Amino acid sequence: MSTSSGRARGLGTDFDRWLGRLFRKGPFTALIVLVRIAQPKVEPLRSTFVHVVGDAIDWGDIVLMLRGAGVNWDGAAFFPTRGDDGGLVPDETARARLRELETALRGNRLVLNEGAFFDVWGRTLKVEEA
């Protein structure tokens, strides 16, 4: 996931600030889970992974990318993961880690809080126990 949108970085969203802080440590792979929120339920909808090789992307770019999922979503959780060398993980490793994450989420939606969880406006979310 890399783009050069040319947009001014200004204040940005919670997501933009999170990405900037995280990318200071270098490229990483992000596991992404889209969810529907219907109080009191949080339902995982789709998941994927992307390799983040730059921070010249903002929340608006992410929303455009996630439209490709073909579902209406209320939240997106990002779980950064790095390889043994501290960088990107191979696709096979990312797929395996994504399946582990999906299994963990089926058992406990609070796992979403272990990632960086954002609403459709890029603001930080947190799942609370009912």
SS (H, E, C) 36-47: EEECCEEEEEEE
pTM of the entire predicted model: 0.88
Question: For residue 23, what are its two tokens?
Answer: 């990318």
Q: What is the pLDDT of residues 52-101, one digit of tens each?
A: 998 788 999 999 999 999 999 999 999 999 999 989 999 999 999 999 99
Non-local CB neighbours of 90 within 8 Å, separated by 6+ positions: 83
Integer Cα distance of 106 and 16 in angstroms: 28
Q: What is the pLDDT of residues 89-121, one digit of tens each?
A: 999 999 999 999 999 999 999 999 999 999 999
Give pLDDT, residue 54: 82
Domain boundaries in the chain?
Answer: 14-119
Integer Cα distance of 45 and 1 in angstroms: 21
Non-local CB neighbours of 3 within 8 Å, separated by 6+ positions: 54, 56, 57, 61
| Matching residue, tokens 């455009």 | 64
